Amino acid sequence: MSSSRRQYPFHLIEPKWQAMWDEQQAFRAFNPGDEIPANHPFAQRHRISGKVSAEQLPRKFYILDMFPYPSGAGLHVGHPEGYTATDILARYKRAQGFNVLHPMGWDAFGLPAEQYAVKTGQHPRKTTEENIATFKRQIKSLGFSYDWSREIATTDPDYFKWTQRIFLKLYNSYYDPDLKKAIPIELLEDALSDNPKHQDAWQNNRYLTGRREYCMSHPNDSKGVNRPKIRDWEIQVNRLAFVTEAPVWWCEELGTVLANEEVVDGKSEVGRFPVVRKPMRQWMLRITKYAERLLQDLDTIDWTDSLKEMQRNWIGRSEGAEVDFQIAGSSEKIRVFTTRPDTLFGATYMVLAPEHRLVNQIAAAGQCDAVAKYQADVAKKSDLERTELAKEKTGVFTGAHAINPVNGEKIPIWIADYVLASYGTGAIMAVPAHDTRDFEFAQKFNLPIVQVVQPSDAKADWHGFVGDGTSVNSTGKDISITGLPTAEAKKKITAWLESKNLGRQTINYKLRDWLFSRQRYWGEPFPIVWKRDADGNLYHEALPESALPVLPPELTDYKPTATGEPPLARAKEWVNLPDGSQRETNTMPQWAGSCWYYLRYLDAKNANASVGKEPEHYWMSGKAAGVDLYVGGTEHAVLHLLYARFWHKVLFDLGYVSTPEPFFKLVNQGMVLGEDNQKMSKSRGNVIPVDVPVRDLGTDSLRLYEMFMGPLEMVKPWSTRGVEGVYRFLGRVWRLFVDEKTETEFEQAETTAANPGLELLDLIKLNPAIADTAATPGQLKTLHACIKKVTDDMEGMRFNTAISALMVFVNEAMTWEKKPVAVLRAFLVLLQPFAPHLAEELWAKLPASGNLAYAPWPKFDPALLVENEIEIPVQVNGKLRDVLKVPVDIAQSELEALAKNSEKVKPYIEGKTIKKIIIVPKKLVNIAVA
């Protein structure tokens, strides 16, 4: 910025108070049972010290930021937006007397450090440590009131030991559809065993007894499909963490597979590289079992509608029916999923996904070549092409036919890539009259289009009509739904299908199981080893908890091996264990560590558990169960936030946490754009690092501006001028409190002193206008209006208007000849959450004040705001004509008379009939004339 005069010595004040807070551990949060030092400001505020129980501690408030990935680039001014908001609230809640937990840590596993290692050979741990150091220095320079004693990094073995342990919990649990929750796998093992020991624990469980029955129906010898094999298979497929050889998203460029959630528009979310489908042996987590609970419990938490909608869309629940179509001249059936069983009479053909298992079986001799060619064409296409070319439908006839179960008609079976193998059953009944895609397809290939739904608007065209209406042409030999409205038609036909064993009501989800392994070096190794059984078949086994943490091996080359194995496979000694077993060489995705970090903060140093029962219960339970407030960007709407909810529910089922949801209230901050109104990016050159405003104008100005820009959740552009504006405001606050003469002396001393230091600040004396005098009613009114506004806005997280209220106060207080200490002191408590360094410095200059960070929040007294005289606008037909100054308790009749007699009003009502006079007490008068 320009060489303009410094508004106030923030360059001395800010480091001074940051050092002071560190030294006092001022923002340390105390757990039940912690030793609270008697001289700690928290102890003094609450008059407690020593070992204190949960009941003796004040009410808790857990306020959390999404912890950052410490990149090499450091923080830009967009980063601290959310951090500033949470810090302001943390400080506000502390002032209100809450026991505030406000932690910070590092989501430090991840791709960039590994890519840097591949390029330079520098160990990712070193890169990560350096980046953490930079991030920590920058975040600390912003003066946030974090409890640094709880700092964590997901890359720390003392942390990921527990991440690995939670994986073991997933591995050793199954989802019980009867109990609708995760249960230790031992129960399933017991239920399937030849000599169960805990029969009483599962004998009433329909699922377990069913599995047992199935298992026991197989011979208990060593030949063929025997009981031990079935038992083993049952156990493996039920685990919440399981291995599968399924087509997965492979990204050549990144050299790893990716989860569904990490693939956007057929490209990797990170780096935008192409991805292809490839069958590989991978670890998966059974998040699909939790689809219904993840959906339902959204109703119990305080998130924005848009965020909940995003999760709902991702889970993608749809109700419908599965219907079996007999293949003509075959014993096989094709099962389809439809949300519109009421349109069954209009199904004039069927479509299988090209990858459907029955395609090759049913293709008629004459069509085999065409089918094979189409399959090959589709396989070549990347998913991107498959969706991009969505405009023109393609497909081929298989030569086979199926029988429509409701009318016995023979309908052709086609294959087309508009039907996805991965959704529903991978096959559809096509109802061209009432489905846009089927309609398009039928038109292109000249397939019959039969109307079965009549729109309620008689003029509407039924061709391609997809809405609800009334069934028509829907009468068969055994069943008719003609004349029924859509909803009833669905019900009736589904019941009929069920009664004939032709189909059933069902629910489908778009959500897929979570692909949980990556071909990476810089991630948590799996606590899993592979062995071979007597027949030479590979099987996996969990390591015991005592083997944790499983540390990654030291490597010099971080690339995948020549055969495409993950980098860990290079560490032969690490992989091959003495007993002949081999370690799993995949690692966990970056999301693993962020799935539970909010729990580790509660008890960060616990060596015996991921989190202790008592701290977990103290910080997570309550009326608003879970983290009280969680603030972060929308980019995690369906990744981190879905994964973390899933893990939390598993931990809840297994009894490790006391709430079903992790985050009660969640707020997304809007993005901060560059000054050019564009997203900040290196290539655009519009990135503003936080260090620049901190150096030029100070942290308090940066914090204040971050919040003053506009509402937290809105997208808004950065403005350097705007920061200077709030900086000027802080300068005004400074001049409100200090004596100008001594400040000039300070400035001179600073320029002449050889080593200007903090002690020079003491040269600055209090403004002589500040005195221990009684406040005038006007001054009290100004103060209490400010208290009310700031307090209300804090509760609503409207920081921009809270700041403008502080500005209004200062503009007013500048004009006071005598400035009462008590009023200014209260103002500093209001200012403190926003500009803590300046507020602390000024607070220290006031006589005998105590600790500001824990000073009680001032209480608003409505009596002080009562006016004797108020201004009442007078409208005629809703248009403002006059403003009357009247006593606050004026009688309505009197007010009416005054309004009618107003010189400015008269011309508008004279000679006209007054229809009505509206008087809103203390607000306005409106005269309606004809």
Partner RNA sequence: GCCGGUGUGGCGAAAUGGCAGACGCACAGGACUUAAAAUCCUGGGACCUUAAAAAGUCGUGCCGGUUCGAGUCCGGCCACCGGCACCA
Residues of span 886-905 touching RNA by CB under 7 A: 904
Q: Is 871 in the site for RNA (CB under 7 A)?
A: yes
Nearer to RNA, 552 or 632 (CB): 632
Is residue 460 near RNA by the rule CB under 7 A? no
Should residue 916 be labelled a site residue for RNA when binding is judged by CB under 7 A? yes
Closest CA to 515 of 835, 261, 800: 261
Using alpha carbons, list the distances in angstroms from residue 27 to 19, 23, 246.
12, 10, 49
* Cβ-based nearer residue to RNA, 70 or 670: 670
491 contacts RNA (rule: CB under 7 A) = no
Gap between the Cα atoms of 328 and 758, Å rounded:
92
Chain positions 504 to 563 lying near RNA, rule: CB under 7 A, are: 508, 510
Interface with RNA in residues 820-859 (CB under 7 A): none
As measured in angstroms, the least distance from the Cβ of 315 to RNA is 10
Q: Is 918 in the site for RNA (CB under 7 A)?
A: yes
Query: According to CB under 7 A, which one of 800, 821, 844, 865 is a site residue for RNA?
Result: 800
Q: How far is the CB of 716 from RNA (least distance, A)?
A: 4
Binder of RNA out of 93, 239, 649, 798 (CB under 7 A): 798
Q: How far is the CB of 428 from RNA (least distance, A)?
A: 5
What the block records as the tokens of 202 is 């599962």
Name which of 605 and 879 has its Cβ closer to RNA.
Answer: 879
CA 651 to chain centre: 18
Q: How far apart, in whole angstroms, are the C-alpha atoms of residue 561 and residue 521?
A: 12
Distances (CA, A) of 714 to 203, 749, 768: 55, 45, 43
> Among residue numbers 66 through 85, which ones bind RNA (CB under 7 A)?
none
Min. distance of Cβ 804 from RNA in angstroms?
Answer: 3
Q: How far is the CB of 452 from RNA (least distance, A)?
A: 13
Does position 277 bind RNA by CB under 7 A?
A: no
264 is a contact residue toward RNA (CB under 7 A): yes
Is position 494 an interface residue for RNA (rule: CB under 7 A)? Answer: no
Q: How far apart are CA 302 and CA 339, in angstroms?
A: 30
Nearest approach, Cβ of residue 813 and RNA (Å): 11
Q: How far is the CB of 466 from RNA (least distance, A)?
A: 9
- Please list every residue from 559 through 598 that binds RNA, using CB under 7 A: none
Cis peptide upstream of residue 68 (ω within 30 degrees of 0): no
Site for RNA in 127-166 (CB under 7 A): none
Spell out the SS3 assignment of 505-564.
EEEECCCCCEECCECCCCCCECCEEEEECCCCCEEEEECCHHHCCCCCCCCCCCCCCCCC
Q: Which residue has the tokens 């006092």?
A: 24
Indicate the residue among 21 and 441 with the shorter CB distance to RNA. Answer: 441
Span from 247-255, 387-395, 562-570, 887-895 in contact with RNA (CB under 7 A): 387-395
322 binds RNA (CB under 7 A): no
From residue 368, give the alpha-carbon distance in Å to each of 350, 359, 373, 609, 770: 17, 10, 8, 60, 95
Residue 368 or 389 with smaller CB distance to RNA:
389
CB of 742 to RNA, least distance (A): 16
Binders of RNA among residues 6 to 45 (CB under 7 A) are 7
x-or-dash pattern for RNA, window 399-418, by CB under 7 A? ------------------xx
Residues from 638 through 657 that contact RNA (CB under 7 A): 638
Q: Which of residues 669-708 bind RNA (CB under 7 A)?
A: 708
**Cα(583)–Cα(494) distance, integer angstroms:** 50
The Cβ-side half-sphere exposure at 844, using a 13 Å CA radius, reads 13
The span of 92-100, 119-127, 399-407, 914-922 binding RNA (CB under 7 A) equals 914-922
Residue with Cβ nearer RNA (564 or 768): 768
Q: Is the backbone of residue 47 left (phi > 0), alpha (psi -120 to 50) or beta?
A: left
In the three-class reduction of DSSP (H, G, I as helix; E, B as strand; rest coil), residue 78 is classed as coil
CB atoms within 10 A of CB 771: 12
Residue among 130, 257, 106 nearest 587 (CA): 257
**Contact between 380 and RNA (CB under 7 A)?**
no
Map the footprint of RNA across residues 325-354, applying CB under 7 A: 336-340, 353
CA atoms of 417 and 395, how far apart (whole Å): 7
How far apart are alpha carbons 767 and 736 in whole angstroms?
7
- Evaluated on CA atoms 15, 17, 20, 26, the torsion sign reads negative
Closest CA to 107 of 64, 149, 71, 145: 71
List the interface residues with RNA, window 706-765 (CB under 7 A).
708-711, 714-717, 719, 721-722, 724-726, 728-729, 731-732, 735
Burial of 896 (0-12, 13-18, 19+ CB in 10 A): middle
259 lies in the site for RNA, by CB under 7 A:
no
